[in-house]
A and B are shown apart, each in its own frame.
Chain A
Amino acid sequence: EVQLVESGGGVVQPGGSLRLSCAASGFSFEDYMMHWVRQRPGKGLEWVSLISWDGGTTHYVDSVKGRFTISRDNSKYSLHLEMNSLRTEDTALYYCGKGHTSGSVGSWGQGTPVTVSS
């Protein structure tokens, strides 16, 4: 059974940093693209970033480019999102997702909350 467990969320001041992690199990992590998707309180889903199976390709939504960095450690079955220069608008529940056929997100974690507030 696929399991994705996010951690690392919390409360941080504007301009601060956080590092989110996602622990994967139940599948061959090294074979799959992985995603981060966020959801602001009471709002819809926003795709944030993806990383290819080998870490060689990454993409970001424009609003986080230059501030967030996605990475993975295939030996540890872990995905990360380094978030710097955080803004109040980055407040959201951050989901880790496993890539599926045709670029979809086939499995999701339960999310880790990030609150950016002074």
Chain B
Amino acid sequence: DIQMTQSPSSLSASVGDRVTITCRASQSISYFLNWYQQKPGKAPRLLIYAASTLQSGVPSRFSGSESGTNFTLTIRNLQPEDFATYYCQQSYTAPRTFGPGTKVDI
């Protein structure tokens, strides 16, 4: 199975900050990497798919990039509603593993 790791596991930030979250796959997954946001008590929300494609309705301050087996989610100009937990997921092959998550708080 493909293992997904994320760093950091948590971070503290302020409104207006630029935040970077990294996800690494244990083997090549091409561009089959997705990012989700989850707020407490809510279902996850798809932010980015195919490593860098913004899902419809997601603010442009979110962006994704890839470099080999390393993937990055960047949030520019962090807003109060962005404080949440972020998960990466590979959809290259089954099982479609998620990363352990990165909690972004104030």
Interface residues of A, dominant DSSP? strand
Q: CB-CB contacts of A93-109 with B at 8 A, as 1s and 0s?
A: 00100001111111111
Chain B residues near A106 (CB, 8 Å)? 46, 49, 55
Nearest opposing residue in chain A for B50, CB measure? A102
B residues 84-105 touching A (CB-CB < 8 Å)? 85, 87, 89, 91-92, 94-101
A residues 1-58 touching B (CB-CB < 8 Å)? 35, 37, 44-47, 50
Chain A residues near B69 (CB, 8 Å)? none
One of B43, B45, B50, B95 near A59 (C-beta < 8 A): B95
Q: Does A113 contact B (CB under 8 A)?
A: no
Contact A62 B1 (CB under 8 A): yes
A residues at B contact (CB < 8 Å): 35, 37, 44-47, 50, 59-62, 95, 100-111
B residues at A contact (CB < 8 Å): 1, 31-32, 34, 36, 38, 43-46, 49-50, 53, 55, 85, 87, 89, 91-92, 94-101
Contacts A/B (CB < 8 Å), 17 sampled? A35-B96, A44-B99, A44-B100, A45-B44, A45-B89, A47-B95, A47-B97, A60-B94, A61-B95, A100-B46, A103-B32, A103-B34, A103-B91, A104-B46, A105-B46, A108-B43, A110-B43
